Structure 1
Amino acid sequence: MYDNNQIIKNMGILYFHGNDVFNFIKDDLLKSKTLTADEKKQMDDFYKNKQVFGDRFKGAAKGKNLLIVQVESLQGFAMNKTLNGKEITPNLNKLAKENFYFDNYYYQVKGGNTSDAEFLTNTSLYPINEGAVFLRYPTNVYNSLPHALKSRGYSTSSFHAYNPSFWNRAIMYRSLGYDRFISYKDFNIDEFVGWGGYALSDESFFRQSLEKIDTTSPFYSMLITLSSHHPYDFFADKSNVDVNPYDNTVLGNYLGAINYVDRCIGKLIDDLKKRSLYDNTVVVIYGDHSALPRPQAGDLYRLENVEPNNFNWIKLQKVPLIIHIPGVEGGQTISTASGQVDLLPTLANLMDIDFPYSMGQDMFNKKEGYALLRDSSVVTDKYIYVASEDKAYDVKGSSLINKNEYQNEITEIQQLGNLSDLMIRKNAFKADSY
């Protein structure tokens, strides 16, 4: 599922070719790859009618470096949390207080998990509903953040200390426009921490990555962490927090892992400052997806003191987003409902980049918040629509409300996912199509 090389290794070459032929027939022969006139009009209408809500911070970071840190499994419930007298994430908490913190920011990944989060951030398109974009559509033409910044003289690179074939990154990154992909073969694997003991420690990963970034010109670099990958083992001697009463549970192990990662992020920020980069770099830190599978979430409900139901589960699917803007005073928490599809237009506004093909909205200027989750649930500032129940709840009081009052809005938001699927499936941005 994640890695074609592993499919061949574990299932055999015949299975791989059979599966490849099946997918080719299903996706390329049985479905039209050309936009119809109606479909093209649908795209045109969406992008032409997109509203611009304001110009707050427009160009505030023009010409600055951009460093994005996508943190494995980092979720919002770990932020500003104290257990037995100690903060789980003291460094992230400090960064959130000093900069811009988005505390109502939802992950929107589907089958591609971590790779979907990368896709959302770099294209402002939603991930496909079946499978992973990185595996099914890696050679499409994409309007992306790396392409936009390259055209402005930036060097672009992505760093991930794992096999380059995992999630098909080596191929997909070319389509996204990265100049370089720095994978595990480019690192000195000098310390293993997390993910079953096979992951390069985040501390070493951050340190080596900064050494490899070309700082002779403006740069965009994306760092994708590994240590805090489920099942969160091998942190007994790395964590500084007492996770009692959750010792030897998945949640307890997770909190210990995130405490370790938080410490690594603190060292990363110190290193940026020592290298005189912090004051000239937009630093973005966010979580990629959920930390706990729902069947393992019992302790999480207890930690949050909420009932185990669909409404509360959705409310827990937030990931923290922190944005440091050089020269702009922060110290602000923004609670408008948003999702990962909104990050690119937010950065485009900050860096004064004309990016007309985003499906998201600039989070510094959007007036009313919403986030479409890929199970078709919808989160807004007023209500949460739970798709599995076909019911809507007041976002603050959790009481049932009349869904029919918001049905048109819910349907309109859900159609964004369908439009994104269409554009990806039909490679809508290739020169002869759009």
Structure 2
Amino acid sequence: MKTALQKLRRVLNTKLGFFLLVVLLFCLKSYWAYQNEFNLGVKGSMQQFLLAFNTIPSALVFLGIALYFRGRLSYWIMLIINAALSTWLFANILYYREFSDFITFNVIKGSGAASNNLGKSLMGILRPEDFLVYLDVVILALILLFHFVRVDMRRFKVRYAMTITALGFVLFGVNLGMAESDRSQLLTRTFDNNYIVKYLGLEAYTVYDGVKTTNNSVVKARANRDELKPVLHFIHSNYAAPNVEYYGKAKGKNIFIIHLESLQQFMIDYKEDGQEVMPNLNKLYHANDTLAFDNFFHQVGQGKTADAETMLENSLFGLPEGSAMVTDGTTNTFQSAPALLHQKLGYTTASFHGDVPSFWNRDNAYKSFGYQYFFSKEYYPKTKDYDAGYGMKDKIFMKESAHYIEQLPQPFYAKLITVTNHYPYILDKKNKDIEAWKTGDDTVDPYIQTARYLDESLGEFLDYLDKTGLRQNSVLVLYGDHYGISNNHQPAIAQILGKKKVTNYDLAMFQKVPFMINMPGLKGGINHTYGGEIDVLPTLEDLLGISSKNYIQFGQDLLSPENKQIVPFRNGDWVTPKYTKYNGDYYYTKNGKQITHQTAAQRKEIGKIQKYVTTDLGLSDKVVNGDLLRFYKLPGFKKVDKKQYTYNLKKSLKNLQKQQKKQKTSLKSENNNQSTFDDYTTDAPELKDYPKLNFPKP
């Protein structure tokens, strides 16, 4: 034993020996993280081997940089590089835990636009074992500091250092070849970052993402109108004509888009100890004049809420990395719902959000979308304890938004973004009306409490619409923007769903979110059409009597009998009424039975669906990345001039005053210029000490 230890020390006393130790520990750490911190869907001996093997090439290349330096400096450079790579791994572990994806350069670029309150989220995500990624760095530093190994002061020959670097690249080539044999066209036809990390490793993925991000910038600079030809061919070939029974039924009505933060479909009719968790939403969902869709899925990527907004108002998918609203919202040309409704039907357009205007770059993207007004946090009175997590508490936000809603000239398009049901589900005791779950997962358990609070907020808002008469002349469009409980909480999900264990099919179905359209006189009912957020805008346009036949939109009217019912997920997975593909597994959608051996006919049918999904996502990305809408002249539509819009508090309120005087169709004007604000009743305890709220004045 003593002899073996002496031999080991002699090896470690050489620079190459110490380098190999650093590489070994780094690879073991990376493999541990891949297995335990990420859900990469590794299957079979080949993928298990690649998961371990792919840690080696990048370790040799990056840590090998230190071998080009002399003496003690090379040792410390080794540790610094290791610490830097460990920090990147650490950051991705935290990011993945919440977003089920890896950090991209576009995410970093847009981090300032979505950083508000992230500190609170991180504290909820962080676990003590996360710091194990630094354990090898600490051990190696102690080995050097306490002279357990002797620093080899000899110069490491450059040709040997270059050999190690070259070996790293050769091994990467071998890695890529084996990966391609298991997953063809890995780097050219994948929408899922999990695949890149699973096959090539985190460092290779980061380099790949950097190259792709740079390439996208070049793509935009080189884009031309000819690139619209395949886009237009695909859209025209897959256009779904409107349902004559519903076409134009909502013409001239006010439109309320109510954004139900992080709300999932399973919460509809969900009971805890025999008690309805969301009675107000349930009542609306089952109303005779509500079209409720029970097979509606979120389709967001890394942009989450921003992706949902992008799809909802543009029928364009979010990007495979980052957020289109952040990276392209300021500069791209859009033909969005607010601009379309304002130009074609004379709608007043406004968005309401109780947080800072820069969140997700909304203060710029909304101008590109054509929003006349953006009522952000600064427009609302500040009261005690009015804020929670990612903005104003929903009850306060919804009530105070009524102050501006009653001033909007009708017809109007108003989007209200709730936030209280956002991770980490912060809510003070005085606002909790239901007990938390007891799954043992502290991240998941309070979700039921903020969902109940959201429902109560919605109930108060609907009461106000009924009292003032606005409900009679309005369409309510309610949707959940994305999951609230990520796939990283599978034991808790199983408990909530009453299962022993969840499959990939269960996780696919868990991506359903509520979507409903309510309007007095509308022929409602539960609609079983399979669809997603990309389909909302064409559906709404047909209800309003606007033909979207010539628009560049990648969704289809959910009410159309010609709807294909193919729901693409952002990573290239999909759901149809017959088949479901999720995390590499295939299932029969009706019963959840896994398809382990496909027949020739099934392979052909599934291949056709996959081709549609890949083309749909790819062409949408081309439109966004190339800013192709700048080349498309939409008949009867004038390109949005962002200079015409201002969200400056005083200027915006003055513009609203002028518009009210000019049009005189607002609720307040119809009520003899008397406010209806006191008709809004809320039990928000924070407002009891504020009998009169002081709103900003122009």
Aligned to 2:575: 379
Aligned to 2:141: none
Please point out which of 333, 338, 350 is paired with 2:526.
333
| Shift in CA distance, 383/66, structure 1 to aligned 2, threshold 3 Å | same
Aligned to 2:629: 429
Letter in 2 for 1:46: F
Please point out which of 599, 606, 613 is paired with 1:406.
606
User: Does 2:453 match 1:257?
Assistant: no
1:72-91 correspondence runs (5 A): 72-91=261-280
Letter in 2 for 1:341: I
Aligned to 2:336: 144
Distance 1:146 1:289 in 2: 22
Partners of 1:235 and 1:253 within 8 A in 2? no
Q: Deviations over 1:111-169 (max 9, x none)?
A: 11111111110001111111110111112111111111101111101111111111111
Aligned to 1:364: 559
- Name the SS of the counterpart of 1:70 in structure 2: strand
Distance 2:114 2:482 in 1: 23
User: Does 2:401 match 1:209?
Assistant: yes
Gapped regions of structure 2 (runs ≥ 5):
1-106, 119-209, 635-698
Aligned to 1:13: none
Which has the larger share of helix? 2
Q: Alpha-carbon deviation of 1:312?
A: 1.1
Distance 1:413 1:278 in 2: 38
- What is the alpha-carbon root mean square deviation over aligned residues? 2.5
Distance 1:65 1:89 in 2: 25
Please point out which of 331, 336, 342 is paired with 2:535.
342
Aligned to 1:290: 483
Gapped regions of structure 1 (runs ≥ 5):
11-20
Higher-RCO chain (CA-CA 8 Å, sequence separation at least 6) = 1
Q: Count how many residue pairs are aligned between Structure 1 and Structure 2.
A: 418
- Name the SS of the counterpart of 1:233 in structure 2: coil
- Name the SS of the counterpart of 1:250 in structure 2: coil
Distance 2:248 2:349 in 1: 20
TM-score by length of 1: 0.90
- Name the SS of the counterpart of 2:383 in structure 1: coil
Of residues 300-309 and 141-150 in structure 1, the stretch that sits farther from structure 2 once superposed is 300-309
Partners of 2:262 and 2:482 within 8 A in 1? yes
| Shift in CA distance, 235/55, structure 1 to aligned 2, threshold 3 Å | farther
Please point out which of 12, 18, 28 is paired with 2:217.
28
1:79-118 correspondence runs (5 A): 79-98=268-287, 99-118=290-309
Partners of 2:113 and 2:361 within 8 A in 1? no
Letter in 1 for 2:534: V
| Shift in CA distance, 253/100, structure 1 to aligned 2, threshold 3 Å | same
Partners of 1:146 and 1:176 within 8 A in 2? yes
Aligned to 1:157: 350
Q: Alpha-carbon deviation of 1:7?
A: 7.6
Distance 2:470 2:276 in 1: 27
Distance 2:313 2:479 in 1: 13
| Shift in CA distance, 5/252, structure 1 to aligned 2, threshold 3 Å | closer
Distance 1:112 1:191 in 2: 31
Distance 1:27 1:351 in 2: 36
1:43-58 correspondence runs (5 A): 43-49=231-237, 50-52=239-241, 54-58=243-247
- Name the SS of the counterpart of 2:478 in structure 1: strand
Q: Alpha-carbon deviation of 1:191?
A: 5.3
Partners of 1:193 and 1:234 within 8 A in 2? no
Q: Deviations over 1:305-328 (max 9, x none)?
A: 233222211110010012112322
Q: Alpha-carbon deviation of 1:428?
A: 1.0
Letter in 2 for 1:420: S
Q: Alpha-carbon deviation of 1:215?
A: 3.5
Distance 1:297 1:186 in 2: 40
1:243-322 correspondence runs (5 A): 243-246=436-439, 249-306=442-499, 307-322=501-516
Q: Deviations over 1:255-295 (max 9, x none)?
A: 11100110100001001111210010100111111101222
- Name the SS of the counterpart of 2:414 in structure 1: strand
Please point out which of 353, 364, 375 is paired with 1:182.
375
Distance 1:211 1:328 in 2: 28
- Name the SS of the counterpart of 1:92 in structure 2: helix
Of residues 232-241 and 151-160 in structure 1, the stretch that sits farther from structure 2 once superposed is 232-241
User: Does 2:317 match 1:123?
Assistant: no
TM-score by length of 2: 0.57
Distance 1:265 1:235 in 2: 19
Partners of 2:566 and 2:609 within 8 A in 1? no
Of residues 129-138 and 48-57 in structure 1, the stretch that sits farther from structure 2 once superposed is 48-57
Aligned to 2:325: 134
Please point out which of 342, 349, 362 is paired with 1:169.
362
Which has the larger share of strand? 1
Letter in 2 for 1:317: Q
Of residues 276-285 and 394-403 in structure 1, the stretch that sits farther from structure 2 once superposed is 394-403
Aligned to 1:17: none
Distance 1:23 1:192 in 2: 44
Sequence identity of aligned pairs in percent?
Answer: 30
